[in-house]
Amino acid sequence: MHMHKFEKIWLIFGVGALLVFLSVLGVSAFYLGNQPPSCLATIDQEKVDTLPPFNEPGLKKVEGKDWDYELIFVAAAFAYTPGEVEVPLGAKVKVIATTKDVIHGFQVAGTNINMMLEPGYISEYVTTFDKAGEYLILCNEYCGMGHHMMTSKIEVVE
């Protein structure tokens, strides 16, 4: 099968760029630990309110962990609990969330906190809040009539 010289150059360049790109992603994921939220823990979605840590939604200071705080959210059609929360500036926080009913999309607008909440599973993401201000939390996966009314708020304060 004949391949034009220019096409060979084009493909070598393209495949080379692809390899560099994939290496960057790979190093970021496996060496720097920048993995997408992929918590493997499960939960009985019908008993979320009675099971720790979801029986006490909100911000909690923790000791002896890689992060300073745990921020617990419970989603249900069509609201998040808590409806509003304050986080100190610069805090390293593990956001832990789950749903009591259908799938929701937990997104903190303007940040990289963006994870699917699926019934029976816990979702987690560790992040640092290094910019003060008010952040909107919304639902970005269709969950029914009131999907676009589902909100909460994170206030990052000094």
92 Ramachandran zone, left/alpha/beta (phi>0; psi -120 to 50): beta
144 binds other proteins (CB under 8 A): yes
Stretch that binds other proteins, among 49-57, 61-69, 85-93, 107-115 (CB under 8 A): 107-115
Nearest CB to other proteins, comparing residues 81 and 140: 140
60 interacts with other proteins by CB under 8 A: no
* Strands 85-88 and 58-61, sheet pairing: unpaired
Q: How remote is the C-alpha of 12 from its chain's centroid?
A: 36
DSSP β-bridge partners for residue 13: none
Strand locations in 3-111, DSSP E? 58-61, 69-76, 79-81, 85-88, 92-99, 104-108
91 binding other proteins? (CB under 8 A): no
35 binds other proteins (CB under 8 A): yes
Q: Cβ atoms within 10 A of the Cβ of 83, count?
A: 11
Q: Which of 59, 79, 91, 103 binds other proteins (CB under 8 A)?
A: 103
The CA distance from 48 to 75, in Å, is: 10
Span near other proteins by CB under 8 A; candidates 56-64, 65-73, 87-95, 136-144: 136-144
> Nearest to residue 72, comparing CAs of 157, 156, 152?
152
Considering only 48, 72, 95, 105, the residue that binds other proteins (CB under 8 A) is 105
**Of 1-30, which residues contact other proteins (CB under 8 A)?**
1-4, 6-7, 10-11, 14-15, 18, 21-22, 25-26, 28-30
Q: Which residues bind other proteins (CB under 8 A)?
A: 1-4, 6-7, 10-11, 14-15, 18, 21-22, 25-26, 28-30, 34-46, 77-78, 101-103, 105, 107, 109-110, 112-124, 134-136, 138-149, 151, 153
